[in-house]
Amino acid sequence: MYKKILVALDGSSHSLKATEAAIELAKQFNAALNLLTVTRPYKVSPKLRQYLEAENLLGEPKYVMDDMTNAIITEAKALAEKANLKKVKAEVREGKPARTIVDYVHNNGIDLVVLGSRGVGEVESALLGSVSQKVSLLSECAVMIIR
């Protein structure tokens, strides 16, 4: 039924539960599992940007793999490895989370998105995760929201 499953990661407890659910589904359907975390754009001052561009140090993508982002991906990969999943792909993208997830779905032939009902965002955590709500409204594939 599902050939490509995407789990959106943000480091929250709901995200961890979503990862576990996505792994079980990937095993059940022998599907590829895509792990995606979205970082906010890395902001630098105009002077620093000019220097980085002049020194050719500002490549694409412009995010910096910080400790938190690295830990999120590492933990999800470890869970997938422990479950003996063979088809696992992990990526970090920069941008607005909901739009970036929906674009990833569209560009990668994803059949199912699994994500937590609430994330670690400031205002978003007070609502039914606005990211999960937006993804469920905008996505062209099935979306499973985990509590």
Which residues are CB-contacts of 85 (< 8 A; sequence separation ≥ 6)? 23, 26, 27, 33
Domain of 124, CATH number, reads 3.40.50.620
Res. 127 pLDDT band, cuts 50 70 90: very low
In the block, tokens 């792990």 appear at 35
Give the count of domains, the chain.
1
The span from the CA of 90 to the CA of 74, in Å, is 9
Query: Is the CB of residue 118 less than 8 Å from the CB of residue 124?
Result: yes
| pLDDT tens-digit map of 13-56 | 999 999 999 999 999 999 999 999 998 766 667 776 666 666 55
Helix (H, G, I), strand (E, B) or coil at 126: helix
* Enclosing domain of residue 57: 4-146
Dihedral sign for Cα 35, 40, 41, 44, please: negative
Q: Which of 31-35, 77-81, 122-126 has the lowest mean pLDDT?
A: 122-126
